[in-house]
Structures are given as structure tokens and as C-alpha cells.
Structure 1
Amino acid sequence: MGHDRVRDALRIRQGLDPDTKPTKVFRPRPDEFPVGPHSKSNAAKQLVGTGEKLDKLQEALFASGTNSVLLVLQGMDTSGKGGTIRHACGLLNPQGLHIHSFKKPTRAELRHDFLWRIRRALPPPGMIGVFDRSHYEDVLIARVENLVSEDVWRGRYAQINAFERELTAAGTVVVKFFLHISPEAQRKRLEDRLLRPEKHWKYNPADLDARAKWDDYQAAYAEALVQTDSDNAPWYVVPSDHKWYRNWAVSEILLETLQDLGPKYPEPDFDVDEELAKLRA
């Protein structure tokens, strides 16, 4: 495709109408390799170099304590949010990670605005935050399952955009991933969970209820992505039928994001030569 950067290849298409069909928004397809390696072995080799680069950039980010990075992971059940954290984010130093998984809101959380619990989980300066699900559940599941009225969830698009602009202005780099999986791949992964006793804990009968509403969820995702994609908080569509490609793509986009941010080590507030002399004495 001639893309120099992974971000250019996987960024959702610009200028789409909110009513555009999901097939137009979710490009590339879940089984495509539009950029980068075409095999698991080559991806594994590249991840080694990516990990080394990420290590240096993450340390500089942590040391500077100026900016933070927030990775938002969204996708249908079995799309690999947990796997992405384990493998792609596993290239990072866990001391510099701030991971939060959002479940069904508690009674206490429901007494507040939907962004209240999100704000409480934001990464502090110097950290890389990872959201397993996020504030987008409030325009996805809330829409499909009719948890709130249409005027409420539609109004949340503007609230989310304003919130993410606020984060950017405060020094947080927001990067959002839609882990794009096909219904065929999801069926195989759900079946695998049922056939392997050690995977039973990951299976939830409610997953089949959501699967039965596949088209409704795809429409909800499509509109959410189009309505909330921006240069300050971009959406990337990551083909996720192949786990190795998903992990490679997310790690590369994180690397490109940190390289553009260019974190710098802070200047010492002491005289280096003087300290060396004291030490050697």
C-alpha cells in the first residue's frame, strides 16, 4: 500500500459520514496484512527490535514526568484486549504501566457522570495507561442494550470529544484501537474456550447474547469511531483475526507515537563533575 508508517495504514478513513456502513469504516479487513510482516515468525523477529526501542523511550517518558500516554482498547468479545496487554504492552516495563479494566459500572459509579470513573483511572505524568474497554462502552453497550435513551448516548459523542481534547491539552497523548475481528474468528475462539477446561473461566454465556446482536454492535462501533476520531485522539482499525499481527500492529503504533512525542531525559539539578569527584574521593 506504500505506507511509511503503520499509523497511516491503519488510521480509520477520514471524512466518512456517521451513517456509513461498518464495512467502509472498518478497513482493513480483520484478516488483512496491509503493512508490516506477513508471517508470525517475521512479526516475532520485529517485536524484538521494537521492544528495545520502546524500552528506551518509555524510560525517557517516565524520567521526564511531563507527558503521559493513554491506549484505549475496544473490540468485540475475544478480539484480544487482554492478549494485547499481555503481548504488545508486555514489551514495556510494568513499573511504567497503568492498566485499568472497566467492567459493568457499580452502583457508586452510576451515581456519577459516565466519565467520572474514567477520570479516576487516567495515567499520571510519565506513565503509559492502558484501558481494557473504556468510556466508549457508554456509546456501545449502552446503545445496543438500550440502557439509556438515544438522545443520551448521542449526546455523549460531544462529551467524549471534549474530554479527549481536555486530556490532550493537559499533556496526555490518546491513542485508540478498534481490534477488528470477524464473526468466524470469534466463533472459533469461543469454541476453544468451551473445549479447553483451562479456558472455561474466560467464557461468559452472555458473550453469545452479544454475538447474536453482531450487526447492531458493528453499527454502534462504526458511528462511534467516525464521530470521535480526531487528530488529537485518533482511531486505528487493527486486523485481529491473527493474534500475532494484532500484537505487532499495536506495538508499532505505540512506538511511532512515542517517537513523535520524543520524550527527553531531564537535565540534572546538580553538578555532575562535582558529584563524580566526591564519589571517587
Structure 2
Amino acid sequence: MSGSWGIGCLASDVTKARQELEKLKKDTGYLEPERGNLDDPNIEWKYGKPDYTMVNLEYMKGKTKNHLTGSLELMVENFVKRWETESAHFKELDQWSTINRAKYHVQANGGKVFNAEESDGVGSYNWLMWDCKKELYDAEKQDFESSLRQFRGAFPKGFPWEVLEVSSGPPTIAFTWRHWAQFTGQYMGRQGNGQLIEMCGSAVVELDKNNKIVSIQIDYKPEEFLKALLGETSNYPRESEPSTEMESVCPMCPNVKSVV
């Protein structure tokens, strides 16, 4: 869930981020993610039209891959980001363009299967972490809005996401992915100190003949991600151990470093 975040940001912050983003695109040739026509006046938004400026900038600055125009990897990345926009921000399921509503179902780590209405009701964070250990995250005690508050509060500038590798194309798309952010906000009352929080995983997405999503199967290890936010792992520097460069601790992630 990359998220159109920028919690607590002023309009001037977004304007500055847009200027930096445009310069970065010009200097590097990077492509800004495509999420569909967000200016469509017919869209009914849950909380208003999203603005992805802040998270797009973080994505550009922190991604490890630069997928070429026309590549399967870029197609999959943009398709997933469009689905994310719809699942996070569209008020009406009937307006989702990415799914076959009648057949759509999602599952994480071989756990509970959610259909379209159920997954939309609980929100992506909750179905993705439904079977986590309750002491780390009890999804049954969260709802769509409370889960968003928790993770948006942890990552005020957004939670970027990228495709790493695609091993098969439509109708069965199998790929690996990476999610990351700087923990500068608060999670469950714990203040972050800017450390890199990162997780990786794999996904298998089944499409129908019209290229609509029928199913999503996600496999990843949420426990280390949650422990890092809660300060329960020795793999991340503590506030008494300042560091400007932190390496990924996710066993599925590439060995990359991010400057904080």
C-alpha cells in the first residue's frame, strides 16, 4: 500500500516536493507511476481525491529498479499501483476497473480468504496481516480507518512499493516486490528516528480474459516488519545508535542500502 500520504504536510511542502520530483525525473529519466485518471469527475472518493506527490518522490529516491517503458515489470508495477489506488480510495466497488468483482478474492500467507466485499470492508492492511501473531498486530480489532491511521502515522511521507522481478506474465502473473519507508512518525505510541523499515515478498495474481483480477495471493513475512516498528528487533539501530546508512534486514530483499 504505497498510499497518497503526506500527513501533516503543508501545501508548500507538496509544492516543494513536486518541484524536486520534476527535477529528479528530468535528471534521471525515471517514470512517475501511473494510477489511472484521478481527475475523472465520476469517481466517488472515500476521503477525497488523493495526491501522490510525496510518495512518488520517496519512490523515486528509494527504488532499486528502473523498469523500462514497455517492459512487463513496468506494466505489472503500474497495474498494481492502480489497484492500490482503487482499493484504498474508491468508495464504490463497482467503480474499480482492475477487478472481476464476482470472482475476486485475496489471501495472504495461505490464511483467510477474503472476497471483494470483505477485503474492501476490512482494508488491505488488515487482510494482509489477518493471521499475524495477535501480540504484534490484531487485525480483528482494527478496521479500515484505524489501520490507515496506524501506518500513515508511522510513515508520514508514504510507504513506497516497487516490483523487483516478474517471473511469469498474464494470465498468471508471478512477481517479487519490495515495500519501504523511513520511520519518521509514530506507531503504537513509539516514535521513529528515521530508520529504514523494509519488507519484501512475492505475489501471484490471476487475471480473467479481460485482464481483470480474479485472485491475489501474497506471501511475505510481516513479523519482522512489525517488530521493527515496535522496537522489538536488534537488527535495527536504536535511538542511542545513530546511523545515516542502514541496510535491509529483510531476507528476501536485495542487499541494498538507503541513505537516511
- When normalised by structure 2's length, the TM-score is 0.24
- When normalised by structure 1's length, the TM-score is 0.23
Bigger-Rg structure (1/2): 1
The structure in which a higher percent of residues are strand is 2
Greater relative contact order (CA < 8 Å, ≥ 6 in sequence): 1
